Structure 1
Amino acid sequence: MTSRRWIRPLLWSLASLALLALLAWALRPAPVPVSVARVSAAPFVDSVIEEGRTRLRATWNVSVPIAGYLQRVVLEVGDDVEQGQPLFLLEPSPAPALDPRSRQQAEDMLQAAEARLRAAQANLETARAERRFVEAEFERYRILHQRNLVSTADLDQRRSQRDRLSAIESAAASSVEAARFEVASARAVLAVASGQRDDAEHPALEVRAPIAGKVLTRYRCCEGSVAAGEPIIELGNLSDLEVQVDLLSMDAVRVRPGMAVRLTGWGGEESLAGVVRRIEPAGFTRISALGVDEQRVPVIVDFSEELDPAALGLGSGFRVDAEFLVWQADEVLQLPTSALFRADGEWRVFRVEGEHARQVPITPGRRSGLATQVLDGLQAGDRIITHPGERVAEGVRVHIDE
């Protein structure tokens, strides 16, 4: 009887403890669902990716050497040209047509010039007649002087008259030539009526190609008057293509001449090899799509020597994606960058140990997109929580969300 009296309270105590344990288990916090990733050793590439544009290393703007009248340019954009091939023809500028008033003035000037010519010719005939008379007089005096019938002073006087009239005749002849030029000039002015040019009298000037290449731009196609120095055609050789990439200044300091570049997004399936040739020493400010001022630095990339960009269909101003290979290795311990967070001034991650999350301090290395190099603190195969939320804390139970 005594033993039965003790058994009943004991059973009730055990049942109460079991009920409390069941209640505690039911009320315990549910595990936090998390996503995990494993730390792995794999190839790692630290790169800078930016959009670029192809351009020609050198172009030639063929312009008009002198002012004139341009004939129609028959070459079109994309046409091939050989070195020395005529590009366009340039004629002398046409004279302006005369209005009725100017034409009447030109006719009056022509008549006046012709009158001056007739007067000059009459003066010339007079001078010649006087010169012939004086020469005859001089001959007679010379014979008389030989016979001592006239003095030497009289002979010298006749010689002086002869020389003076000879000079007057020469001046009259020059006046006739000047009057003829005035008549020709007046007739030329009067002949200008419609601004037309005579091709036989005014041959066209051929402007030839300085290089062999393609026509990139045709600034002027139709005929008309042009000023000296006006550009007509731009030429270039597509074999001299290069790529200009405007990098952020913080990325440009990581790039060095000779660095390998992988070019993608140009339209073909395979990537193209390139190499950094020059980093420009001066940057510029560009506003991003979000309205933020960005300091950009132009970086020039050359295609590899075995590539012919023109044969691939590339031209000037084509878009490409340039990936600058800053550093790469085959076996690098790495984890997703989204697993990192800062705590107490150091980088940490949550590592899953059994069913609980444990904070682990690590030493990160290089970053490349979504992956970060691990220098210390983790081993290959460790499971770490990606994108840890506010509910994830030290020692909390977690449930891996598959």
Structure 2
Amino acid sequence: MNNTISPFTRYRRWGLWALLAAAAIALGVWAFRPRPLVVEVAAVTQGRFEQAIEEDGQLRLKHRYLIAAPTLAELARPTLKVGDAVRAGEVVATLSPVAPQMIDARTRGVLQQRVGSADAARRATAAQVQRLDTALAQARLEAQRAAKLASENFIAASALDQAVLAERSARQALDAGRAELSAAEFALAEARAALARAEPGARTEGLWTLKSPVDGRVVRLHLDSAAPVTAGQPLLEIGDTSVVEAVIDVLSGEVRQIAPGAPVQLSLGGGAPAIEGRVARVEPVAFTKVSALGIEEQRVNVIVDLAPGVPGLGDGFRVDARIRVSAQDDALLVPSAALVRDGSGWRVFVLEGGRALARPVTLKERNAEVAWIAQGLQAGQSVLLYPGSTVRDGQAVRVRGSP
């Protein structure tokens, strides 16, 4: 019996073992090879880039008027409450004046000074109304000129919008100036009446009624019961609740970016629609405010004009403001979460062929949501979000949710 193994059988056995070894090696390589990193991506788009400053603030009445006692008197118990509506010329307070012989020379001197001060305020307000009237006429001409140029495509539509808004602002300023003039005339009439009642021999029979200089609502009562009052003592405040403005305090380092006329969006919260406004002025004086972290900050008030007649607003309401400081159409945009520091510059990781490829980019501007890329990318490319330190150039990646 011959037990000799043929060369063919021997080679077949060795081939089988080689195949098994190769399969084991391949399985090991497959099991231990680096797996693609699961990532999230976003598309590079072209659109409008806006740079904005977001801060909170509060609303306040644009026009409020203080009703004060013109002389020594006894105030009758007020019948008005905070929030009550009043009309111009309506009685808002009733006084019982004291006898003239009870008024000393010093008080009479104060009343004379009040007459002079009220008269000077009235004349200054009248001059301001004339200036505002002239400014409105100029703004109206500019708006008409801008409308004609826009119809002939000589200026952009945004320039026409600015001219129209300037005319509207000038008209509102003139209306406010006229209301101030009416209040100044009321104040002068009351000061003269108080001085006349303080003269020796003047008749003091009857009650003295104080009237509202404007249409509005009672926004504050300084006294809510009968009491003796002195000359100049505040009694109540009346405001026009249909015309409010917003006061937004901004860091002094950022306020230089804000120009008068900049558009503003105000949010009251609670799902209420945003309110549009415009920056009226930036106050030239800063103040110190302690932040929630206990850090002292220098801040500046930015005053924002709102369209009149916006319902649901009140004095002292808190608002969140978004002040737009710059805008650019057709900008190349990527999410800010895609940016990675690269020395003094920036880079992003572009997804190509299942791999993350590093691309240096030139950054124009950025905000909390998106970045405006000047060079280095093209619209339609996909970039990795939140790449962190685990992503390397050329690394295999897989988009989350893809097979």
Alignment TM class, shorter chain as reference: 0.5 to 0.7
Q: Identity rate of aligned residues, in percent?
A: 37
The yes-or-no answer on 1:394 pairing with 2:393 is: yes
Q: What corresponds to 2:257 in structure 1?
A: 254
| 1:162-192 Cα distance to aligned partner (Å, 9 max, x none) | xxxxxxxxxxxxxxxxxxxxxxxxxxxxxxx
The TM-score with structure 2 as length reference comes to 0.65
Letter matched to residue 87 of structure 1:
V
Q: Of the candidates 27, 40, 58, which is equivalent to residue 45 of structure 2?
A: 40
Q: What corresponds to 1:297 in structure 2?
A: 300
Paired with 2:80 and 2:19, the residues of 1 have a C-alpha distance of: 104
The yes-or-no answer on 1:58 pairing with 2:60 is: no
Letter matched to residue 58 of structure 1:
H
Q: What residue ranges of structure 1 are gaps of 5+ in the alignment?
A: 95-199
Q: Secondary structure at the match of 1:26?
A: helix
Paired with 2:62 and 2:40, the residues of 1 have a C-alpha distance of: 50
Letter matched to residue 95 of structure 2:
L
Q: Is the 8 A contact 2:42 2:335 kept in 1?
A: yes
Letter matched to residue 300 of structure 1:
I
Q: What corresponds to 2:245 in structure 1?
A: 242
Letter matched to residue 361 of structure 2:
I
Paired with 1:343 and 1:224, the residues of 2 have a C-alpha distance of: 73
The yes-or-no answer on 1:273 pairing with 2:273 is: no
| 1:316-347 Cα distance to aligned partner (Å, 9 max, x none) | 22233322222334432211111111123220
Q: What corresponds to 2:25 in structure 1?
A: 20
Letter matched to residue 52 of structure 1:
G
Paired with 2:9 and 2:224, the residues of 1 have a C-alpha distance of: 120
Q: What corresponds to 2:377 in structure 1?
A: 378
Letter matched to residue 235 of structure 1:
I
Q: Secondary structure at the match of 1:258?
A: coil
Q: What residue ranges of structure 2 are gaps of 5+ in the alignment?
A: 1-5, 100-202
Q: Is the 8 A contact 1:93 1:225 kept in 2?
A: no
Q: Give 1:385 shift.
A: 1.3
Q: Is the 8 A contact 2:71 2:97 kept in 1?
A: no
Q: Judging changes above 3 Å, is the alpha-carbon distance between structure 1 residues 342 and 267 closer, same or farther for their aligned structure 2 residues? A: closer
Q: Give 1:208 shift.
A: 2.5
Q: Is the 8 A contact 2:357 2:394 kept in 1?
A: yes
Q: What corresponds to 1:288 in structure 2?
A: 291
Q: Judging changes above 3 Å, is the alpha-carbon distance between structure 1 residues 358 and 267 closer, same or farther for their aligned structure 2 residues? A: closer
Q: Give 1:267 shift.
A: 6.2
The yes-or-no answer on 1:229 pairing with 2:232 is: yes
Q: What corresponds to 2:79 in structure 1?
A: 74
Q: Is the 8 A contact 1:83 1:210 kept in 2?
A: yes
Q: Is the 8 A contact 1:266 1:318 kept in 2?
A: no
Q: Is the 8 A contact 1:32 1:399 kept in 2?
A: yes
Q: Give 1:44 shift.
A: 3.0
Larger Rg: 1
Q: Give 1:202 shift.
A: 4.2
Q: Give 1:201 shift.
A: 6.7
Q: Is the 8 A contact 1:285 1:294 kept in 2?
A: yes
Letter matched to residue 371 of structure 1:
V
Paired with 2:270 and 2:16, the residues of 1 have a C-alpha distance of: 81
Paired with 2:249 and 2:350, the residues of 1 have a C-alpha distance of: 40
CA RMSD in angstroms comes to: 2.7
Q: Judging changes above 3 Å, is the alpha-carbon distance between structure 1 residues 390 and 92 closer, same or farther for their aligned structure 2 residues? A: same
Q: What corresponds to 2:160 in structure 1?
A: none
Q: Give 1:348 shift.
A: 1.1
Paired with 2:25 and 2:204, the residues of 1 have a C-alpha distance of: 121
* Aligned pairs (5 A) from 1:363-374: 363-374=362-373
Q: Is the 8 A contact 1:333 1:375 kept in 2?
A: yes
Q: Judging changes above 3 Å, is the alpha-carbon distance between structure 1 residues 201 and 318 closer, same or farther for their aligned structure 2 residues? A: closer
Q: Is the 8 A contact 1:245 1:299 kept in 2?
A: yes
Letter matched to residue 289 of structure 1:
A
